[in-house]
Amino acid sequence: MQNNPIRIGTRESQLAVWQADLVKKLLEEKGQKAELVFIKSEGDIDLVTPLYAMGVQGVFTRSLDAALLNNKIDIAVHSMKDVPVQLPQGIAQAAVLQRASYKDILVMNGEKSIEPQLSNPFTIHHSPFTIGTSSIRRKAQWLNRYPNTVIENLRGNVNTRLQKVAESNWHGAIFAAAGLERIGVRPENSFDLDWMLPAPAQGAIMVVGRETDVEVMKACAPLNDVDTAISVKVERDF
Ligand X SMILES: NCc1[nH]cc(CCC(=O)O)c1CC(=O)O
> What is the C-alpha end-to-end distance of the chain, expressed in Å?
35
Q: Which is nearer to ligand X, 74 or 82 (CB)?
A: 82
Amino acid letter for position 218: K
Phi and psi at 38, nearest 5°, equal -90, 135
DSSP helix/strand/coil, 187: coil
- The Cα 100–Cα 77 span in angstroms is 15
Active-site residue, 82 included = yes
Minimal distance, residue 202 CB to ligand X, in Å: 4
The interface region with ligand X, picked from 5-13, 74-82, 124-132, 207-215 by CB under 6 A, is 74-82
Among 9, 179, 200, 209, binds ligand X (CB under 6 A): 179
Q: What residues contact 145, with CB distance under 8 A and at least 6 apart?
A: 121, 122, 195
Beta sheet of 104-108, edge-to-edge order: 149-152, 129-132, 172-176, 104-108, 190-192
What count of residues does the chain have? 238
Among 44, 65, 74, 82, binds ligand X (CB under 6 A): 82
Judged by CB under 6 A, the residue of 142, 146, 170, 175 near ligand X is 175
Interaction between residue 61 and ligand X (CB under 6 A): no
**Contact stretch for ligand X (CB under 6 A) within 61-69, 118-126, 171-179, 187-195:** 171-179
CB of 178 to ligand X, least distance (A): 4
Binding ligand X by CB under 6 A: which of 95, 176, 216, 232? 176
Q: Which stretch binds ligand X (CB under 6 A): 29-37, 68-76, 85-93, 174-182?
A: 174-182
Half-sphere exposure of 68 (CA within 13 A, CB side): 29
Residues 111-140 that bind ligand X (CB under 6 A): none
CB nearest ligand X: which residue?
A: 179
Residues forming the active site: 82
